[in-house]
Structure 1
Amino acid sequence: MKKELNLSLDVYSPRWGRNDTYNLSFDREGISISNQSNAFSTSAKKDEFGYFSWTGYKDTLEKNSLMTIFANDSIYAPSIIPFAIESAWQSWIDGTPDDVISQAIIELFDWISLTAENKPSSDYWVGIF
């Protein structure tokens, strides 16, 4: 039985102009993600109906707490990210090897980083991104 999968993932933060580290953890109960200082964190667990419920930093019905953490660092990640992480967790629970899941999550976070690095940067967009 799998116990836990932990990854440290770097994502470019336009707010700071450098990479920030995000810590991701899968366990039998669900998903946890925090930034490098652990000042902002979120977790996801399945409810009694089998749907994921995210809770944590500035969680609202309109905005997923993971996406709010990213936005705090001026990272405007594609909206599919929480679902993609949920899918990876379910695959891990179902027996996909740790190394396969780890590589998939690294690829996903690399994509988030590239999205953040390639944001519009002309003078017109200053203050928006």
Structure 2
Amino acid sequence: MPGTIVIEKIQGHGVSEEMLAQAAELFSSDYGIWGPLAEEKMGTFGNFCKAAFGDGIEKLNLSGIKDLVPAVMKSSPVPYVKMAKPTGSLFDQGDQTGAVCCADTAFWVDHAEPLAALDVIKEDGIKWPFGDLPDGCEFLAFVSR
């Protein structure tokens, strides 16, 4: 039997810098680099995109995933991904949202931070192939190993 998972909710005033550092370290070890030293460790987001997507994300060809996306999403063990609808002009030529390749998850989050990051990479001269990010949507990308 797996170990016990303990979840403790802590109010904002009770969160210390040390707790945030520990959370950043755990998150970074499992999911990638996060926290105040992220840019120092991996460079700008534009450099990350160039490293992750070879010649650069601006040269990414999304047309090859168009037919695969619905089946991949339906097979997801994550309920909100499984129920999500592919959204954007890649999937619907009549789409007027400005999205190219997104998933309408109806998972409402504040997009201020990702949109600010997107502005930074656009300032670096990188063309973002996924289009705009409508409310209730998330960018949709598949990366093979």
Using the size of structure 1 for normalisation, the TM-score is 0.24
Q: Which of the two has greater strand per residue?
A: 1
Q: Which of the two has greater helix per residue?
A: 2
Higher relative contact order (CA 8 A, sep 6+): 1
Structure index of larger Rg: 2
Using the size of structure 2 for normalisation, the TM-score is 0.22
